[in-house]
Amino acid sequence: MPAANDRQLQELLAHPSVWRGRSRAAVETLPTGFAALDAGLPGGGWPRHGLVEILTPRPGVGELYLLLPALAALSRATPARWCTWVSPPHQPFAPALEAHGAALDRMLMVNTHLPLWAHEQALRSGACGIALAWLPRASPRAIRRLQLAAEQGRALGVLYRSERFAHLASPAMLRVLLEPLNQDGRHGARLRLLKSRGGSREPIDITWTAAAA
Amino acid sequence: MQHPRSYRLKFPEPVPSEADSGFPGSSATPSVLRVRPASPPPKGPGEQPALALESRELWIAAHVPQLSLLALRAAAPAGSSARSSLIVVDPEHQQRVIDADAAARAAGVRLGMTLGAALAAAPGIEARPRDVVRERELMQRLVGIAATFTPQVSIESPDGLLLEIRPSITLFGGLRELCRRLRDACRADPLFGQADAAPHFTLAPTTLAALVAARAGARCFITDAAVLPARLKPLPLTALRWPEEQNARLTAMGVRTLGELMRLPRAGFARRFGPAMLADLDRLLGRRADPRARLVRRERYRGVCDLDHEIEDHEHILQALAPLLAELETFLRARQRGITALQCRFHHYRAAPTHCTLRLAAPEASAERFTGLLRERLATLTLPGPVRRCELRGGALTHRAITSKPLWSPGERGHASAGEMPALVEHLRARLGNTAVYGIERVAAHRPENAWRVAEPALGGTDTANNPGGAFRRPLWLLGAAQPLEAQRGRPRHDGPLELLAGPERIESGWWDGADVRRDYYVAGDRHGVRLWIYRDMETKRWFLHGIFG
């Protein structure tokens, strides 16, 4: 009897919606494309449904390279849903995206003065596999809405913000602080998981792949 | 009436005993067609027997006798000029009288008169130019009635209509029943139900025979092509609507009826009048195929709702529109079609109407979707005043793929529903505008600013087969306009000195279109660890920032 109870308990605990303090909850994940990061993240990759917040000291330090493998994989999945870019800071360069394996016809650009609304709509619609957004400011309440929308629409929401907001509480499922790492010809980044359900506490160093150079 | 020549049918008394000589349900018009007793076989163009095979088509022709008069009457407000007698003149045709009402005819006006002659005959009459647009609208209205009986309907400009009804006979329970229903449908129409506007119907195995009989006002209900020559004989020549000079030549030869025409020798006829007219005659008697193009009706939804009181609130406007949207949905579902554009007009008391157009990425028919999109659009709309009238106009109907509801919700088990993807695009566009939401595509060009362009979001299937482009080193971000960089001793700076990491890559292109570039591109790293794509213009030797790597 105790054995049966134990098995039932394990089954119950393995349910994605159950999360225990220090354990790694079972979440549906997507490989990040970086082995070191996969090892550090709960479930071995980006959550498939949920909000990820990426904080950077300044734009252009590799925050897009971090998501590119996932973006390429989602855009080439069958059936592929939209990969939405909400108010990107510059124009995403189509030849480079294609060279990194992303399918351009799944990319949907949204230039708007209402990024929060557009991001929420994109996440909630169920039509997006991934939605990236660059928000100048977002209140914890707004982020909570985005997190719920991402879960409801079964989409991976990515929020790019400045590291100035790192000390603020955030309801996002995963928070990653990214710092550029340029040492002895190595072009990469050091990642710290500010918030994760059972992820690594140590900083994770990754190198951008040769294509990114 | 295109040909102003007037004619009178000079035929003996009607023959009421002939059961099948009239169109069923027709009013008692004098019958001018009857089968003549067996006459010696004609020697002219009509001498060959009609098609040996059984005719596969059966045509009903409808002729609106006084269409141009009817068009002017229908356009005028009721009772405004009902008293004065009216004639219609054709400005394209030397102001000749093409139609005249009964009072004018009684006063001595004949078709084909010049306007001056008509005014001299009856000074008090009112002369108006014909309204071609309105005439066409009336014919379209008649098509609307006829199209419920057969899809093969075509307009014989200006006042004739042709219906191929052979395939519909069984469906409507027999030929006579079909004809009766057609007539009843016309009678039920408020416009064509009037006594003087009722179209004249005829039935014949060939289009031209049916038309000719209808124009001549003859009773004609013929299903057998073999009897056509005999039955068409008494009809006047003018009903063929051949050019006036040819008619005059034939009349001079003593040919006034189709029977006399058919007696002419075939070879001589072709030599004198040309093969085209002989071909017409062959079509008339079913010796030559006479296909007609099916008329495709241009159907649009239009709904208007007048409000009891003026409203300003967006939610209330949406509520007022709800019945129209429901009607639109029924309209579209009945046709299994969708629309990709929907225009709303809000009429105000003083200001000009406000227009707002919804554009949809994929054909849509659901009122719920339209309501959602309108809600977003209304939020961005500023109305100059309260709304007192709403109007809804649907765009062209397009084919709508009807899909069953998916078992899984989108994203679940890798499932993506086709409906959600265009819906998101429309939803965002309704609020943010059409240009704010777009896709991108690659262009095979060397200049980076020309190597991509904005594209419509792809709604079709993914083309996963496309191979990734060349292994060139390209940044993920491209600046809209290259940003000039300061330089110190020939070294570019951007928030501190830049370190050139790779390059140069020469891009030299565009001499043919005026945007000539000669640039050396480098990958540079700044002191914060950001990788930049910079170039040196070979003409000015100045440095520019053009892209950011990540």
User: Where are the extended beta strands (E) located within B443-550?
Assistant: 452-455, 477-488, 491-493, 499-509, 517-525, 531-537, 543-548
Which pLDDT score is estimated for A83?
A: 92
CB of B528 less than 8 A from some CB of A:
yes
Nearest CA in chain A to B447: A95
B242-257 CB burial, b ≥16 within 10 A, e <16: beeeebeebeeeebbb
CA distance B240 to B445: 63
The answer to whether the CB atoms of A93 and B470 lie below 8 A apart is no
Task: Give the pLDDT mean for B210-228.
Answer: 88
State the pLDDT at residue B50. Answer: 46
Is the CB of residue B496 less than 8 Å away from at least one CB of chain A? no
pLDDT tens figures, B230-287: 888 899 988 888 888 888 999 998 888 999 888 888 888 889 888 888 998 888 888 8
Q: Which residue of B has its CA nearest to A190?
A: B529
Contacts with A111 from chain B: Cβ below 8 Å:
432, 436
**Which residues in chain B are classed under CATH 3.30.1490.100?**
302-399
- Which residues 383-412 in chain B show a CB within 8 A of chain A? 409-412
Question: Which residues lie below 8 Å from residue A82, measured CB to CB, with a gap of 6+?
Answer: A106, A107, A108, A122, A127, A128, A129, A131, B421, B424, B457
Q: Which of chain B's residues have a Cβ under 8 Å away from the Cβ of A126?
A: 409-411, 417, 420
pLDDT, tens digit (0-9, with 9 covering 90-100), for B468-486: 555 567 888 998 888 898 8
* Cβ atoms B1, B98 nearer than 8 A: yes
Instruction: Choose among A60, A112, A182: nearest Cβ to B436.
Output: A112
Contacts of A60 in chain B (CB under 8 A): 477, 530-532, 548-550
Q: Which residue of B has its CA nearest to A210?
A: B473
Share of chain B above pLDDT 90, in %: 7
Helix (H, G, I), strand (E, B) or coil at B375: helix
Chain A residues touching residue B373 (CB < 8 angstroms)? none
Cα–Cα distances (Å) from A175 to A30, A98, A142, A178, B451, in that order, read 16, 28, 15, 10, 35
pLDDT of B215 above 80: yes
Question: In sequence order, what are the beta bridge partners of B517?
Answer: B509
With beta carbons less than 8 A apart as the criterion, state whether B303 and B391 touch: yes
Please enumerate in sequence order all residues whose Cβ is within 8 A of that of B130, keeping only pairs 6 or more positions apart, or say none: B68, B71, B72, B88, B89, B90, B91, B98, B99
Write out chain A residues lying below 8 Å of B452, CB-based.
91, 93-95
Q: Residue B21's pLDDT band (boundaries 50, 70, 90)?
A: very low
**Do residues B460 and B480 touch, judged by C-beta distance below 8 A?**
no
In this predicted structure, what is the pLDDT of residue B83?
55
Cβ-based neighbour number of residue B338 at 10 Å: 21
Distance from CA of B395 to the nearest CA of A (A): 26
Selected for mutation to probe chain B from A28, A93, A110 (highest B CB count within 10 Å) is A93
Binned at pLDDT 50, 70 and 90, residue A85 comes out as: very high
Query: In the structure, what pLDDT confidence band is assigned to residue B75 with cuts at 50, 70 and 90?
Result: low
B466 vs A: CB within 8 A? yes
Choose between B416 and A67: higher pLDDT.
A67
Average pLDDT, chain B: 80
In the prediction, which pLDDT does A87 show?
A: 92
Nearest to B314 by CA among B372, B393, B392, B365: B372
pLDDT at B338 over 80: yes
Q: Which residues of A touch B529 (CB under 8 A)?
A: 61, 180-182
Euclidean distance between CA atoms B367 and A96, whole angstroms: 41
Question: What is the tens place of the pLDDT at every residue in B370-422?
Answer: 998 888 888 888 888 889 889 999 888 888 877 666 666 655 555 555 677 88
Q: Is the pLDDT of residue B39 over 50?
A: no
Banded pLDDT at B16 (limits 50, 70, 90): very low
Euclidean distance between CA atoms B328 and B338, whole angstroms: 10
**B95 CB-near residues (< 8 Å, 6+ apart):** B89, B114, B115
Tell me what pLDDT residue B461 has.
Answer: 54
Radius of gyration of chain B (CA): 36
Nearest CA in chain A to B477: A92
What CA–CA distance (Å, rounded) separates A88 from A63? 12
Q: Looking at the domain that runs over A29-207, which CATH code has it been given?
A: 3.40.50.300
Map residue B162 onto helix, strand or coil.
strand
In the prediction, which pLDDT does B18 show?
39
Nearest CA in chain B to A74: B414
Q: What SS3 class is residue B191? A: coil
How many residue contacts between A and B have a Cβ separation below 8 Å? 195
**Chain A: closest CA distance from residue B540 (Å):** 26
Give B407 or B458, the one with higher predicted confidence: B458
Instruction: Tell if the CB–CB gap between B475 and A93 is shorter than 8 Å.
Output: yes
Average pLDDT, chain A: 85
Q: What is the pLDDT of residue A122?
A: 93
CATH 3.30.360.10 applies to domain B302-399: no
Closest to A159 measured CA to CA, from A94, A58, A74, A63: A63
Say whether pLDDT at A108 is over 60: yes
Give contacts of A82 with chain B, Cβ < 8 Å: 421, 424, 457
Residue B51 pLDDT greater than 60, yes or no? no
Output Rg (C-alpha) for chain A, integer angstroms: 17
A27, A28, A105, A116: best to mutate for the B interface, most B CBs within 10 A: A105
What percentage of chain B exceeds 70 in pLDDT? 82
Residue B14 has pLDDT above 50, yes or no: no
Give the residue, B42 or B387, on which the prediction is more confident.
B387
Of the ranges A115-119, B188-192, B443-447, B521-525, which is most confident?
A115-119
Cα dihedral B320, B323, B329, B332 sign: negative
Q: What does the alpha-carbon distance between residue A11 and residue A7 come to, in Å, rounded to a whole number?
A: 6
The reply to whether residue B431 touches residue A117, judged by beta carbons under 8 angstroms, is yes
pLDDT at site B40: 45
**Average confidence (pLDDT) over B289-306:** 80
Question: Is pTM beyond 0.90 here?
Answer: no
CA B319 to chain centre: 32
Question: What is the pLDDT confidence band of residue B460, given thresholds at 50, 70 and 90?
Answer: low
Specify whether the CB–CB gap between B168 and B149 falls below 8 A.
Answer: yes
Neighbours of B540 (CB within 10 A): 9
The partner residue sitting opposite B476, judged by closest CB among A97, A110, A112, is A97
Rounded Cα gap, residues B66 and B313, in angstroms: 50
| Nearest C-alpha neighbor of B545 from the set B481, B501, B496 | B481
Q: What angle (nearest 5°) sits at the alpha carbon of residue B273, between those of residues B270 and B279?
A: 55
Token couple for B518: 């000669």
pLDDT digits (tens, 9 = 90+) for A18-44: 766 655 556 788 898 888 888 888 888
Is A86's pLDDT higher than 90? yes
Q: How confident is the model at residue B84 (pLDDT cuts 50, 70, 90)?
A: low
Query: Average pLDDT in the A110-114 region?
Result: 91
Compute the average pLDDT of residues B151-172: 87
